[in-house]
Structure 1
Amino acid sequence: MPPETPSHATDRLDDDDYPAYTMGRAAEMIGATPGFLRAIGEARLITPLRSEGGHRRYSRYQLRIAARARELVDAGTPIEAACRIVILEDQLEEALRLNEELRGRSARSGGSAER
């Protein structure tokens, strides 16, 4: 594997999806335990990538999702329900983003954004 150029390595630092964090560091960052990260992985809330050695690696995006699940669990929500809530929140956010994007396109093309 050729060495990375400095600009390519810097690009990874800005990439929300780059799996930069080990399980231990990820757990520390969100104030949880590695067991919590394993549990939300088993619930399929997040799927960490694996290093060549088989170790879990987490992205910043995954850590934001895990932190939200941790907030819900800390408030007394069962982990399975917390995972479902986070998934639904994420789906709603994406649907709202797409809706806004489509409204913008419609307005730019002269069409009606309302039905």
Structure 2
Amino acid sequence: FLRAIGKARLITPLRSEGGHRRYSRYQLRIAARARELVDQGTPIEAACRIVVLEDQLEEAQRINAEYRRAAEQADPPPAD
């Protein structure tokens, strides 16, 4: 499965000096989510796209929250 999602370019493992694939915890978490979708009947290409979009959404939400915090600190709401 890891090779299949590698072919779909969802993850790209690092290689050890001996040529063995090395996956980060993040990559394994992404692979596990793709596996869940495939096990539910989603084609692997679609599962990979869904995982990428979910990851992008999570990152956008994190950035948005940072901007909100920064804006609140820069201009606190007026006291009543």
What residue identity is the alignment partner of 2:60?
A
Secondary structure of the residue aligned to 1:38 is helix
Normalising by structure 2, what TM-score?
0.92
The alpha carbon displacement at 1:81 in A equals 0.2
What percent identity do the matched residue pairs reach? 79
Deviations 1:34-84 (A, max 9, x none): xx1001011111111000111100111111100000000000000000000
The question of 1:98 aligning with 2:73 is answered no
Give the length in aligned residue pairs: 77
Moved over 6 A (4+): none
Please tell me the root mean square deviation across aligned C-alpha atoms, in Å: 1.2
Match of residue 49 from structure 2: 84
Which one of 28, 48, 51 corresponds to residue 13 of structure 2? 48
Scaled by the length of structure 1, what TM-score is found?
0.65
Give structure 2 stretches of 5+ with no counterpart: none
**Matching residue's letter, 1:62:** Q
Cα displacement (A) at 1:111: 6.8
Separation in 2, partners of 1:44, 1:96: 24
- Name the residue aligned to 1:72: 37
Q: Distance in 1 between matches of 2:76 and 2:58?
A: 24
The amino acid of 1:84's aligned partner reads R
